[in-house]
Amino acid sequence: MSMYKLLKEECYEANMQLNELGLVIYTFGNVSRVDRKNKVFAIKPSGVPYEILKPEDMVILDFDNNIIEGKMRPSSDTKTHAYLYKNWDDIGGIAHTHAMFSVAWAQTQLDIPIFGTTHADHLTTDIPCAPPMSDDLIEGNYEHNTGIQILDCFKNKNLSHKEVEMVLIGNHGPFTWGKDAAKAVYNSKVLETIAKMAYLTLQINPNAPRLKETLIKKHYERKHGKNSYYGQ
């Protein structure tokens, strides 16, 4: 029996949830789950239809992209996951989708403005969109450089990955992360919902105002502040 059985099962369940939530099409999208103790992570194999995917198909790699266990090629986005795990040692899961409204916003190369309290329930800033990388980086180690692109975006916008657990890659699509794979998937669904709401808001009123700071503060802190009171 594989010593990574539980890691593979958690990764598999998260990938299946991504599909069940309608966040991917065909074989697109992937979720990974890290094992910090053993310095490895599990990720979906590349191009395998969700309906035939099995827990044992998950591929185990180290943070330098060496395959530790698995018979199939890992996701084509593996190097991005590895780079984020290596540089952000407090995240436990990463998800990447091609969800429609998230991708549509990424294709505009615009941040998603904070228009409403659903957005403020999860973060206090616009959802960032990283600008497309330069031609030499695209033609180089592309997936690795996508990880650099994400970190550069957060540095340039002075954002914390602990507070903003999602990003859009310009002309590409969304990446999300969290304490585990399930939270990364949750954040992918939240991002897609907020992206759709923001799009519809601008269709109704192209000059819709941003949410005022007092409402942002109230809605975020009642869920995440030291005196939070949402939930049981």
The catalytic site residues sit at 121, 230
Which residues are within 8 A (CB) of 56 and not within 5 positions of it... i.e. 6 or more apart? Answer: 2, 8
Checking phi first, is residue 158 left (phi over 0); if not, alpha (psi -120 to 50) or beta?
A: left
**For helices 78-87 and 142-156, angle between their N-to-C axes, nearest 10 degrees:** 40
Q: Is 11 helix (H, G, I), strand (E, B) or coil?
A: helix
CA 19/CA 16 separation, integer angstroms: 5
Exposure letters 133-172 (e unless 16+ CB within 10 A, then b) = beeeeeeeeebbbbbbbbbebbeeeebebeebbbbbbbeb
